[in-house]
Amino acid sequence: MKTILSTTADNTIGLVHRRVFGNFVEHLGRCVYEGIYDPGSPHSDATGFRTDVIKALRRLGVSTVRYPGGNFVSAYDWRDGIGPCDKRPARVDFAWQSLESNAVGIDEFVSWCKRIDAEPMAAVNLGTLGPAEAAAMLEYCNLDTPTQWVKLRKANGFLEPHGIKLWCLGNEMDGPWQAGQVPAHEYALRANATSKLLKGLDPTIQTIAAGSSGRFMPTYLEWDRQVLERCWDTVDYISAHRYSNNHANNTAEFLAEGVEIDRVISDYAGLIDYVRGLKRSEKRVYLSFDEWNVWYRQTSGDGRWETAPHLLEELYNLEDALVVAQYLNAFIRRADVVKMACLAQAVNVIAPLMTTRDALLKQTNFYPVELIQKWMIGASLRLNGGGAMYKAGKHGEVPVIDSAATFDMGSGRVAISVVNRSVDSSHEVRFKVLDRNLGTIAIATQLTGKDAKQTNTFESPTAIVPQPASASVEGNELHITLPSMSHAVVCVETRER
Ligand code: AHR
């Protein structure tokens, strides 16, 4: 089977923003406690944070981290998480029925972000709290005025403002599971007022309106329309969330998931354009795909009032990793719309990393993220051509190859990320950049395996790891031979013709 793709270096869709390689840390299960923070672990330093996790997240090139939720944020009071640790109150967490010690709060989180070289993205509670508490948090974090919350931050040892630039206005507020769920018009009023207040205090920030929780919701898009119409002038992004599943246990169908991801992005692109047209506006609003991953096996949210219960500890296999690659390909294909995205989540909870007190495991889904963020940089390129198709169950006929390509003007490198969705056939991809001469291959790496269900485990941590891919430049064409069920990234030096 064969696919032939071509492009030119100026056939660009948009710059791939580093913020699409974001991540998400929620006070949920063992993500914060026993995940990023574990004073009892031999891998932790004097601050209690795990240095092996920091190292792995740096390797993952995490650009941005959304915090502290998720559902958690909608009943969370940020003021519980500041000041001397022994004075912080323990609380019950409504979202996950767990106990929250508040040992980690916004100050520790921002300090930790610096260590992984990522930008913090703060979410405010618009469920049980409102604009006033969000404004107090922004004052505490970002201002340098002689006022109560700034004085308190300085008394807590943080003399310089944290300078948080990204602010999420609540989370999934159309979800019946959400503390303080409201109808769209009410959320829109709340989000608009909060955004105005926050930007009034710090005009350098950007805000993200909470979009509908997902395509499965009856409120999908209609919620977003109402929110965008009300908040158009005050927000910079609308959020989308999606978790993919293989409940049907049909690998061929599951591997066509990229089609659905494209559909969601295209739905939002259309909606954003529609509202922009209604408003006769010059302004752009972008999509923040700030929760995405495969998630369907470990779904119990009942922590039975324990601290750091084992919740949502999904084990990822090969087919999941191939879907994860397709999410990033889709974000790159629509670099004109998706300017921010967060893989949910960082550690232990639906995550690419798992910890025990002594060890760290990189799951299968770690590797496509690592590879793509490292090599797919610069401008996203529009690809022409195509090739073999296959029958993918409910998705109908779908291309066997899912692809995205980039051109980095600085280095002259062109990179291509390709997933072979076929469960049983290898596939040849031929790729031309019509206005460039192809030179040396800088990297050709693939993730593959014989068994779609193969996972990495603490006992067998390298069952699915990257290996060299088969790629060569022939004539002026890049040839890649992909085994069945594989993802490859190939980056090649190019020169102007
Ligand atoms: O990431 C897990 C949960 O999924 C988040 O808390 C919520 O926003 C989403 O429903």
Residues 6 or more apart from 458 whose CB is under 8 A from it?
A: 354, 356, 359, 361
Does pTM surpass 0.95?
yes
Q: Are 250 and 393 in contact (CB under 8 A)?
A: yes
Strand 477-482 with 22-24, pairing: unpaired
d(CA 376, CA 397): 27
Identity at 425, one-letter amino acid code? S
pLDDT tens digits, 264-301: 999 999 999 999 999 999 999 999 999 999 999 999 88
Q: What is the mean pLDDT of residues 43-71?
A: 98
Cα angle 16, 470, 254; round to 5? 60
What single DSSP character describes residue 383? P
Confidence class of residue 62 from pLDDT cuts 50, 70 and 90?
very high
Considering the domain delimited by 17-375, tell me its CATH architecture.
Answer: Alpha-Beta Barrel (3.20)
| Fold that domain 2-9+380-496 belongs to in CATH | Immunoglobulin-like (2.60.40)
Q: Are 272 and 232 in contact (CB under 8 A)?
A: no
Nearest CA to ligand 1 atom 9: 70
Q: In which residue are the tokens 């390509």 written?
A: 405
Residue of 100, 291, 319, 370 marked active site: 291
Q: What pLDDT is attached to residue 1?
A: 86
Cα–Cα distances in angstroms (integers) from residue 134 to residues 150, 338, 357, in the given order: 14, 26, 35
Cα dihedral sign for 249, 213, 367, 5? Answer: positive
pLDDT tens digits, 292-339: 999 999 998 888 999 999 999 999 999 999 999 999 999 999 999 999
Q: What is the mean pLDDT of residues 179-204?
A: 98
Q: Are 41 and 357 in contact (CB under 8 A)?
A: yes
Q: What is the mean pLDDT of residues 441-470?
A: 98
Q: What pLDDT is attached to residue 201?
A: 98
pLDDT tens digits, 17-45: 999 999 999 999 999 999 999 999 999 99
pLDDT of 401 higher than 90: yes
Average pLDDT of the chain, as a whole number: 98
Q: What pLDDT is attached to residue 192?
A: 98
User: What length does the chain have?
Assistant: 497
Q: What pLDDT is attached to residue 301?
A: 87
CA of 215 to the centre of ligand 1 (A): 14
Pocket of ligand 1 from Cβ distances under 6 Å: 26, 69-71, 171-172, 291, 344-345
Confidence class of residue 100 from pLDDT cuts 50, 70 and 90?
very high
- Domain definitions of the chain by residue range: 2-9+380-496, 17-375
Helices (H), 301-415: 318-333, 366-375
